[in-house]
Amino acid sequence: MKASRRYFLKVAGLSTFAMAAGAAKADAAYEGYSEGLKAKRWAMVIDTRRFQKPEDMLPIIEACHKVHNVPSIKGPKEIKWIWDDTFEHAFANDPNPMLPEDVEERRFFLLCNHCTNPSCVRVCPPGATYKTEGGLVAIDYHRCVGCRFCMAACPYGSRSFNFKDPRPFVKEINPAYPTRMRGVVEKCTFCAERLEKGLMPACVEASNGAIMFGDLNDPNSIVRRVLAKNFSMRRKPDLGTDPGVYYII
């Protein structure tokens, strides 16, 4: 009995060591881009004063949807990563009948808020949606089973479900980015694949400075400097999700 126990401990120790060594070796074979942008907590600031009409917003929506192969489907099966709506709908828990006219008529960009406490991540059964190091909420479409719990959990309606094969509805396929398939949920990614290569998100690039993007934890970042000087609002902050998209009114 004594000998076999000793043998068991030896084997257990050796195999733990072998596993640790194997894991370390696999890790060494991968690295990130040196030009990649890093942040503790990515956040977006939208200067809504610079967007009054749907025509101002269309080029930005198109820039996003074009680079990510987002299909244009009309009606209730619509798929959207970034879209626009009125104050009343964007800030539904802050009804105000006495808004100034320009705010009442203004359109607001809506997109995934990349919350600090994302309810979608908590409910995802297969772990397909998750938070990355920079605070982005990402989806691994390979793992998505299409249960749509995340769509029910998201208080911002940021997620769309592919009721049918989206490919026929993509006008011009960008060959550098995948499409999605029938039965998965998709949404804005804060352009994780562009940040990784040192580029700003597509909407930020297309906005002529009206949308700003940076690290909320860095006091010298553009988002912190802009937020320090301007009054801003977030959507449904009372829910405790701590959204990462700020609106300058």
Q: How many residues bind another protein (CB under 8 A)?
A: 30
CB atoms inside a 10 Å sphere around CB 210: 20
Which residue among 103, 123, 181, 199 contacts another protein (CB under 8 A)?
Answer: 181
Examine residue 169 and tell whether it contacts another protein (CB under 8 A): no
Q: Report the nearest approach of another protein to the CB of residue 56 (Å).
A: 31
Which residue among 17, 72, 173, 237 contacts another protein (CB under 8 A)?
Answer: 173
Which residue among 176, 209, 220, 228 contacts another protein (CB under 8 A)?
Answer: 176
Q: Report the nearest approach of another protein to the CB of residue 29 (Å).
A: 5
Alpha-carbon separation of residue 237 from 223, 233, 245 (angstroms): 18, 9, 11
Site for another protein in 22-51 (CB under 8 A): 26, 28-33, 36
Which residue among 95, 175, 209, 219 contacts another protein (CB under 8 A)?
Answer: 175
The dihedrals phi and psi of 116, each to the nearest 5 degrees, come to -70, -35
Binding segment for another protein among 55-63, 114-122, 138-146, 241-249 (CB under 8 A)?
A: 138-146
What is the C-alpha to C-alpha distance for residues 134 and 189, in angstroms, rounded to an integer?
Answer: 12
First-to-last C-alpha distance (Å) of the chain: 76
What is the C-alpha to C-alpha distance for residues 138 and 143, in angstroms, rounded to an integer?
Answer: 12
Binding segment for another protein among 39-47, 174-182, 215-223, 231-239 (CB under 8 A)?
A: 174-182
CB atoms inside a 10 Å sphere around CB 107: 19
Q: Report the nearest approach of another protein to the CB of residue 240 (Å).
A: 26
Examine residue 163 and tell whether it contacts another protein (CB under 8 A): no
Chain center to CA of 41? 12
x-marked contacts with another protein along 60-89 as a string, rule CB under 8 A: ---------x--------------------
CA angle, 248 then 192 then 55, to 5°: 45
Tokens describing residue 110: 């809506």
Examine residue 17 and tell whether it contacts another protein (CB under 8 A): no
What is the C-alpha to C-alpha distance for residues 248 and 222, in angstroms, rounded to an integer?
Answer: 14
Looking at the Cβ atoms of 7 and 177, the one nearer to another protein is 177
Whether 201 contacts 60, CB under 8 Å = no
E strand spans, 101-210: 107-111, 129-131, 137-139, 160-161, 185-186
Looking at the Cβ atoms of 97 and 175, the one nearer to another protein is 175
Short-list 112, 126, 76, 98, CA closest to 187: 112
Binding segment for another protein among 12-20, 42-50, 169-177, 215-223 (CB under 8 A)?
A: 169-177
Examine residue 171 and tell whether it contacts another protein (CB under 8 A): no
- For binding to another protein (CB under 8 A), which residues are involved? 26, 28-33, 36, 69, 130, 132-134, 138, 140-142, 173-182, 192-193, 196
